[in-house]
Amino acid sequence: MAIGMARGDDDLRLLVDRALSRLYRSPEFAAVYGKWFGNLDADSSAFFRWAALPE
């Protein structure tokens, strides 16, 4: 999956990265992930927590 954005649009990139990071840390993430991609296993869950930007 991808989102198209203009090269150098750091404001949009940061907005998207922060929104995804909040989702990755939320209790709802497993349900959202499961709806579209199947069950979230422990390794994948750890990856998404690791990939999330700090607050």
Is there a domain that residue 54 lies in?
yes
Domain that holds residue 51: 27-55
Q: Which pLDDT band, with edges at 50, 70 and 90, does 55 fall under?
A: confident
> Is residue 3's pLDDT more than 90?
no
How far is the C-alpha of 36 from the C-alpha of 39, rounded, in Å? 9
First-to-final CA distance of the chain: 24
Is there a domain that residue 10 lies in?
no
> How do residues 8-54 score in pLDDT, each as one tens digit?
999 999 999 999 999 999 999 999 999 999 999 999 999 999 999 88
Count of structural domains, the chain: 1
